Structure 1
């Protein structure tokens, strides 16, 4: 929507680069320059390039287009899944390596007070050998102090519930998105697939249980999705008429909980692998806490037994 990316050869240096060409209009250019500022801030805070955020090498202008020159990388994680794990996911060892690198990226973002606000498999690139990843596309990123309440921040399937509900948010939105991404890498399936914000909440509660009344009372958009008694108003399409119907649902307990959905991949695992899977489930449980204040931080995730391989 906002830009195109081409692979090109740097004639002076004789190496490949990726050039992001921003659309030629004033608001897009302004957004592009904001992204440049954020990328430079992140690079300055990571001089040794150890935190897995894509490196911006330089910028130039061409026929009114802002052009951003990046290091050359290979495919994104969505394409990795298509090629090597379609509908079944990739192995837990690869998921662990990717998880550690993504949480290192999040730890740098947090240190620099930056929200990525669009993390998903499409915005994580790997190198040719597929053993190193870089978080990319900071076009939606902002300083954490600029977090205005809007129900459509972040791509829908990776959107944290506090965004949908209109609750003040912070770094926890990126941890939620990474939790959804890690589930998808391991299973090959998208965790939450609502066709609207309302149906996203339904999918989230089917998996993670009810929101506390305390959380819902803070929600600016709560009345769009819950009645006066805080029961959920599920807005569904009537299959015959195509019109919206409202069903009041009361979630007593999750019907499609995280553990049972992840254990379907456990058929041929030995005891050691099952322990590692349990540890992975525990990490995702912490990343996907409905209460953003209780969600794990990137530093806590990096110390989790699944990443460090400490036996629980």
Structure 2
């Protein structure tokens, strides 16, 4: 028999403190001087010394692992003690929003969709079959301690190449909303709004004057008006002003609506028979205005909860659009019953004084406000952009699965929770089934409008990929990628970055001859610096003149880690694949979720 050293009580007590939990090492009660063997043991009974020897002591590797785990837990607690103060500064309003996961310190952004706390840094597997391998193969999104919104002062500074820059935080999308609405729907009241915008925004004058050549019943006529005639436009503009009062009268379908058909919000008003009480107004969109309200009547757990209510404009075309949005939202809700794909949730609908009302979960702010608050002029941290990109492509994967095009993705239509860790894609008023392919050059807000829309090429869900590419660039840089004043200038900026369109795409474009001559030369509409009149300049583009990489890589003087440098390079590659001029060559949501920038 092997000789063993009998352990002292001190040794036993030390092991008791190092390994937890474990059974007491004290001897078991004996019968006739012999100990009872373990139930699973096949050997004959052993002596006291042998029994003590055969107790399964933890080998050193296990002790080391347990000690490391204890140290790791202490480090995580210490780290989150510091993160709590950072989170407070990022999200001034305390407490979780009604639409977000609980603000637990151990919450991981790598699974923000399930809105379930993930403990000890573990990542819950993705249930969807096509993405399970992707989500389990690598770390997908940064953990909260790495998820800072603001950029470092010395790192992540984007090169300024001298190109025309428009700051994302200063852009007011409502300026384009009115013109897009009138061009798409031909709503008469928008003539009044257009006059107000035209008088206050000189830099929009060219495009808004071009719109006046368009007949109300022909939304495509504007595509032929890149060679304007100023006297004629001014005459038309005066005509619109004279006709405005009559248009206002015919547009008012409800005494609670303003001349444009928007509901006149009254703070403190109760809606839906006293179920909701309005306490703030969140603004207007193309189809509706949105208010924030509290639930006064409902289930015990619902009373006091905040919701967002979208009140559709009191016009027949807008009402129909609202009903269509409800159908699409319900379809997406059924396709995502566990709320894992980052599409805003529709809770219920009702009607109030002739207005269709949609009740949504309440969220904090949109991504344009996030950029304005945490990344004005410089953009957000690359890790925050990575986390938002991951969630956006999850949302797009659901849209693709449901065969739906969002058709208006931009920072204004992406909401975040109070902690700024979870986003939800909202405002599906322009969404449609992928089989609906009505050619219109004004689908999607202009700065995020894909080239196939402008050219009149049959489009598909890849138009949303283009919009996401523009949005991600904007989040990282704080600047708008394609700030064109018109569709004509948008195409020029696209070709300067990505090169010329292939002749096949131009030939099948409905509006190809509006922008290109017989030789494939681009007819750029520009302002003469002396006269201020619009002139046509022939532009022949063979290769890009603007470099995406040069605009996104930090300057040589910036001090960034190798890991961050690799992340930025993979981000540039992802944007390049999102912004392919040919929609058939763009990356799709599934490929994007497997991209190194998303996977990490």
Q: TM-score range by the shorter chain?
A: over 0.9
User: Which residue, out of 105, 108, 114, partners 2:395?
Assistant: 105
2:545 is paired with a residue of what secondary structure?
Answer: coil
User: Which residue, out of 278, 283, 294, partners 2:569?
Assistant: 278
Give the gaps of 5 or more residues in structure 1.
none
TM-score normalised per structure 2: 0.51
Residues 121 and 181 in structure 1, CA contact (< 8 A), matched pair in contact too: yes
* Residue aligning to 2:470: 180
Which residues of 2 match residues 136-285 of structure 1 at below 5 A? 136-264=426-554, 267-285=558-576
Give the distance between the partners of 1:145 and 1:252, measured in 2 at CA.
34
1:19 is paired with a residue of what secondary structure?
Answer: strand
* Residue aligning to 1:67: 357
- Is 1:3 paired with 2:298? no
Normalized per residue, which structure has more strand?
1
User: Shift of residue 83 of structure 1?
Assistant: 0.2
Residues 227 and 233 in structure 1, CA contact (< 8 A), matched pair in contact too: yes
Further displaced range: 265-274 or 283-292: 265-274
2:430 is paired with a residue of what secondary structure?
Answer: coil
* Residue aligning to 2:87: none
User: Shift of residue 296 of structure 1?
Assistant: 0.5
Residues 287 and 322 in structure 2, CA contact (< 8 A), matched pair in contact too: no
Give the distance between the partners of 2:509 and 2:318, measured in 1 at CA.
31
2:435 is paired with a residue of what secondary structure?
Answer: helix
2:500 is paired with a residue of what secondary structure?
Answer: coil
* Residue aligning to 2:589: 298
* Residue aligning to 2:32: none
Q: Deviations over 1:58-99 (max 9, x none)?
A: 000011111100000010000000000011000110001000
* Residue aligning to 2:321: 31
Q: Deviations over 1:236-287 (max 9, x none)?
A: 1223322211111111321212111111477332222111111000001110
Counterparts in 2 of 1:89 and 1:265: CA distance versus 1, 3 Å: farther
Give the distance between the partners of 2:388 and 2:579, measured in 1 at CA.
18
User: Shift of residue 174 of structure 1?
Assistant: 0.1
The aligned length equals 309
- Is 1:287 paired with 2:572? no
User: Shift of residue 176 of structure 1?
Assistant: 0.2
User: Shift of residue 17 of structure 1?
Assistant: 0.2
Give the distance between the partners of 2:533 and 2:405, measured in 1 at CA.
37
Residues 187 and 265 in structure 1, CA contact (< 8 A), matched pair in contact too: no
Give the distance between the partners of 1:83 and 1:50, measured in 2 at CA.
27
Counterparts in 2 of 1:143 and 1:265: CA distance versus 1, 3 Å: farther
User: Shift of residue 105 of structure 1?
Assistant: 0.4
Give the distance between the partners of 1:189 and 1:265, measured in 2 at CA.
17
* Residue aligning to 2:281: none
Counterparts in 2 of 1:265 and 1:218: CA distance versus 1, 3 Å: farther
TM-score normalised per structure 1: 0.97
Which residues of 2 match residues 13-28 of structure 1 at below 5 A? 13-14=302-303, 15-28=305-318
User: Shift of residue 186 of structure 1?
Assistant: 0.4
* Residue aligning to 2:331: 41
Residues 117 and 174 in structure 1, CA contact (< 8 A), matched pair in contact too: yes
List 4+ stretches of structure 1 deviating above 4 A. none
Residues 525 and 536 in structure 2, CA contact (< 8 A), matched pair in contact too: yes
Counterparts in 2 of 1:298 and 1:26: CA distance versus 1, 3 Å: same
Q: Which has the larger radius of gyration?
A: 2
Further displaced range: 282-291 or 239-248: 239-248
- Is 1:83 paired with 2:373? yes
Give the distance between the partners of 2:287 and 2:346, measured in 1 at CA.
18
Q: Deviations over 1:148-170 (max 9, x none)?
A: 11111000000000111111110
